[in-house]
Amino acid sequence: MPPKFRVGIIGCGIAAQFFHAPAYRLLQDLIEVIAIADPNPENRNLVQAILPNLVKQYTSLETMFETEQVDMADIMLPHNLYADVIPRVAHYCRNILVEKPFARTLQDAQKILASTSGLNFSVVHNYIYGRRYKNALEVIASGKIGTPFMVRLENLNTGMASINPSLTTPWRNQSEGAGRGTFHDHGFHLVYLARALMGSEVIAVSASMGNYYKEGDALDTAVVTLFHENGGMSILLDGKLNNQEPEEVEEVLGTKGTLKINPVTDTMEKFKIDLQNLPRNEVLKNSPYASSTAACIMDFVNSVLTSKKLPVTADEAYRNLYITLAAYESYDQKRVVEIPKNLLI
Ligand SMILES: NC(=O)c1ccc[n+]([C@@H]2O[C@H](COP(=O)([O-])OP(=O)(O)OC[C@H]3O[C@@H](n4cnc5c(N)ncnc54)[C@H](O)[C@@H]3O)[C@@H](O)[C@H]2O)c1
């Protein structure tokens, strides 16, 4: 059996607990997390409790890289830290996977991408690996609904909390930590989903936003229209629901019919059994996202091992961020913002 691909996780918060650590359980035959770095010992211990093997724990990423032979860095941090941390990681590691949206501003994105040029750098677009979107893309490709002309993604959610809720930090609500707000954070997913479902690039963006919950200064609600090259439109609604189960209304309208995108709620059986002895397993096993994160990580690792084009290239991640941030420009300036066809990083 070939040696396992060795991963170092940087950041042991919500994304590591609910998405990446469970994903590495699914991938344990091929990939092994050997070390984790996070200054917060409680978060490190929560992630260790989910991982399938004992790992080395570090408070600093530099010490981790200087001590361990790591093939790949898997980074998930508050957004304001990426511009500092990713260039430091690039100094040590050739294969870098980073959580979305990977940068707070376009200037930070340019700095990050300059530091990772020539390396295998990719961003987690995990939703596209979700079964509901894979099924939808297959139906669209079959021609059943004709040519898509409208994508509707109303994707409201209740917000994220740590496995131990007392460890949840408020950076998401604050522009200093999160960037401008929900659309920059969660809406980033909706942008790449809309681009894929429409099968056509975005040429312009128009947006309205608000801060209704007043839990910080970040904009917590966004209504965004994307205009696509094929003449179609995407309507994106992103924000928070209080005291209610997530409400997702997602469909693609085509010239021959409409495709409703229904959540796939059944968690993989293997995954359910594997998680049953873990802390808060009832929460973890109901997370539909860990298996899509596993697919996303595996796709990245396969591309690295076979020297194939990365599933999400630096150009692709930058374009998605550019469109996402253009929504804020549209909101600020009350105008439709055009997206250049050729984006220079
Ligand atoms: N793809 C998804 O579906 C998804 C879901 C949740 C979060 N995310 C993304 O994951 C990222 C992290 O979000 P989160 O919710 O896990 O945040 P979080 O606040 O829960 O966790 C961040 C962790 O980073 C640690 N940290 C801070 N500085 C560090 C450093 N220098 N080195 C190592 N660790 C450090 C903190 O101690 C904390 O444990 C964000 O980019 C977020 O958008 C993605």
State how far the alpha carbon of 244 is from the alpha carbons of 169, 209, 334, in Å. 22, 21, 31
Q: Where in the sequence of the chain do the CATH 3.40.50.720 domains occur?
A: 5-126+298-311
Q: Distance from the CA of 1 to the center of ligand 1, in angstroms?
A: 33
pTM of the model: 0.95
Atom number, ligand 1, closest to the C-alpha of residue 84: 31
Determine contact, residues 124/192, Cβ cutoff 8 Å: no
Residue 329 confidence (pLDDT) above 70: yes
**What is residue 107's predicted lDDT score, i.e. its pLDDT?**
97
Judge if the beta carbon of residue 8 lies within 6 A of ligand 1.
no
Looking at residues 31-44, what average pLDDT do you find?
Answer: 97
**CATH superfamily, region 5-126+298-311:** NAD(P)-binding Rossmann-like Domain (3.40.50.720)
d(CA 40, CA 27): 25
User: Mean pLDDT over all residues of the chain?
Assistant: 91
Judge if the beta carbon of residue 170 lies within 6 A of ligand 1.
no
307: left (phi over 0), alpha (psi -120 to 50) or beta: left
Torsion of CA 10, 15, 19, 25, to 10 degrees: 30
Q: Per-residue pLDDT tens for 156-172?
A: 887 777 878 888 888 98
Q: How many residues does the chain have?
A: 345
Judge if the beta carbon of residue 184 lies within 6 A of ligand 1.
no
Q: Where in the sequence of the chain do the CATH 3.30.360.10 domains occur?
A: 131-263+320-338
Judge if the beta carbon of residue 43 lies within 6 A of ligand 1.
yes
Judge if the beta carbon of residue 100 lies within 6 A of ligand 1.
yes
Judge if the beta carbon of residue 126 lies within 6 A of ligand 1.
yes
131-263+320-338 folds as: Dihydrodipicolinate Reductase; domain 2 (3.30.360)
Judge if the beta carbon of residue 37 lies within 6 A of ligand 1.
yes
d(CA 57, CA 35): 6
Judge if the beta carbon of residue 74 lies within 6 A of ligand 1.
no
Judge if the beta carbon of residue 19 lies within 6 A of ligand 1.
yes
Q: Per-residue pLDDT tens for 188-236?
A: 999 999 999 999 999 999 999 999 999 999 999 999 999 999 999 999 9
Least confident residue range of 77-86, 111-120, 272-281: 272-281
Token pair recorded at residue 332: 């600020």
The percentage of residues in the chain with a pLDDT greater than 70, rounded to a whole number, is 92
d(CA 300, CA 311): 6
Strands 56-58 and 31-37: parallel
Judge if the beta carbon of residue 85 lies within 6 A of ligand 1.
yes
Mutation to probe ligand 1, out of 9, 48, 77 (largest number of atoms < 8 A from CB)? 77
**What is residue 269's predicted lDDT score, i.e. its pLDDT?**
57
The residue whose two tokens read 């919950």 is 213
Q: Distance from the CA of 155 to the center of ligand 1, in angstroms?
A: 21
Q: Distance from the CA of 15 to the center of ligand 1, in angstroms?
A: 6
Atom number, ligand 1, closest to the C-alpha of residue 98: 41
Q: Distance from the CA of 16 to the center of ligand 1, in angstroms?
A: 7
Judge if the beta carbon of residue 22 lies within 6 A of ligand 1.
no
